[in-house]
Structure 1
Amino acid sequence: MERKSIIDKIKKLREHSVERGATEAEAIAFALKAQKLIADNGIEEWELEGGEPDEVARVYAETKIRRAWLRLLFSVVAKNFRCRPVLTTTADGKRDIPTFLGHRSDAEAAAIVFTHLLEVGHKLGKRHEDDFYTDPDAYENFVRGFVCGVAMELEKQAEALMLTVPQDVEDHVRKMPLRNAPAPRRIRENAASMARGCEAGQDAVRARRIAG
């Protein structure tokens, strides 16, 4: 397939967004498929836009879910979409917004995937908490297992495509004043809850990949 045809195909895949009528499941499937084509063929953002090479951008992932484990998922998704995860504090200083720092195509895809997986993991975690009452930390164990499952599946793709964070993104991050985020609280680990979460995380990624 000629490079122009590949670029045209990527553009069409990226047109399928929630804002343009696609469901979240469809949007994430198209984002993963577009990412694979970009990585397979070394396509740069400036080629997709017909302009100059893409600059490093910040893409915010707004979410109403306020759970400490989102930082774990945030880091996993960023790594596998050639981005760096940065927490941006709101003007009032009351909350942090997950922010993907990377080339715009990578960062936008990462934000879509992260938001979707966060909602899926939270919903399944709450359901597991209601059903698995023998584990006092059922929700936390499940969602941490969920993140592990997501990481296992995404990293298979990242390793196969040899994805790495672009040097200009790394250089941009080095110039930023960064602070360490607090780690999620310690819990009593439950192997059964974590195993169920891990399986759910793998299924969540596989389902989107199959749908694509």
Structure 2
Amino acid sequence: MADLRAIRDRIRALRARTVDNGCTEAEAEAAAEAAMRLMADHNVSDEEVELPEYAEAAVTIGGRRSVIDSLWPRIARVCGCTSFIRQEWDGDRAVVYFGLEPNPEIAAYVHVVCAGAIRRAIADFRKTPEYRRKRTVRTRNEMVRAFTDAMVQRLGRRLLDMRFGIGWGTLQEQGEKALLELESRYTLKTLAPIKAASQGAKTARARAAGHAAGSAVSVNMGVAGQRDMKLIGGGK
């Protein structure tokens, strides 16, 4: 894969040496011939040369794992790419979305919208009687965790149901190809599952509130977001 990318880059660079870009006719012709020789020598087709580029888009998520992390792979899936967690040098972590351009940037955009909505909803939940009646740090944290888990699950299902008008076949194919390309570049480490939030009777109201909060989030992403979503799968 790395060799093919390098060859494609060389061919593209040669093809860019045109009269319109400031080369003489002789230089342009020599570059075109060199590009054709490279393609013949390495059995590279025009289609392969013009393939979209794979790209990454990273969003910092802090140093501690949480139930919110289960949302990121769903965002990747609905945007036709894949994702992984990267440990940063400063101790923070980042979700890295990987796939064909412009899918990762779109996934990062959806991530920021969803993360902001979750953050605001948690702040509002901390003001409710359901949260304030809990007296200990442990029980309050348990309520927040249950609320957040339910909200993330609801929001994740809504995203997967919407798909922003893109067929599952296209999204799945793009995601699978992105994963294969990613695995050819990096050695990925499998993380242990995140401990599930409590689903007992004592957290039922918190979970109900989280479900409602997930249902209330506007996931149409606004005018700019809708325009960007249409780019997934090669749309115009």
Instruction: Sort the TM-score into its range (normalised by shorter chain).
Output: 0.5 to 0.7
Change in CA separation of 1:95 and 1:65 when aligned onto 2, cut-off 3 Å: closer
Which runs of 5 or more structure 1 residues have no equivalent in the other structure?
1-50
Distance 1:67 1:178 in 2: 17
What is the TM-score of this pair, normalised by structure 2? 0.59
Change in CA separation of 1:159 and 1:108 when aligned onto 2, cut-off 3 Å: closer
Displacement of 1:169 after TM fit? 0.8
In the comparison of the two structures, how many residue pairs are matched? 161
Displacement of 1:209 after TM fit? 6.1
| Contact persistence 1:87–1:97 (CA under 8 A) | yes
Q: Residue 174 of structure 1 corresponds to which residue in structure 2?
A: 183
Moved over 4 A (4+): 63-67, 209-212
- Matched position secondary structure for 2:66: coil
- Matched position secondary structure for 2:126: helix
Q: Is 1:148–2:153 an aligned residue pair?
A: yes
| Contact persistence 1:103–1:169 (CA under 8 A) | yes
| Contact persistence 1:145–1:197 (CA under 8 A) | yes
Distance 1:98 1:130 in 2: 29
1:183 to 193, 196, 218: 193
CA RMSD of aligned residues (A): 2.8
Matches within 5 A, 1:18-37: none
1:139 to 127, 133, 144: 144
Matches within 5 A, 1:58-207: 58-63=56-61, 68-92=66-90, 94-131=91-128, 132-133=130-131, 134=133, 136=139, 137-158=142-163, 161-163=166-168, 164-165=171-172, 166=174, 167-175=176-184, 176-189=186-199, 190-206=203-219
Cα deviation, 1:136-191, whole Å, max 9, x if unaligned, reads 21211111111112122111123963232314313113323111234333443222
- Matched position secondary structure for 2:80: coil
Distance 2:220 2:166 in 1: 20
Cα deviation, 1:106-156, whole Å, max 9, x if unaligned, reads 111110111121121122113213312256212111111111121221111
- Matched position secondary structure for 2:127: helix
| Contact persistence 1:56–1:102 (CA under 8 A) | yes
From the CA coordinates, give the structure whose radius of gyration is larger.
2
What is the TM-score of this pair, normalised by structure 1? 0.64
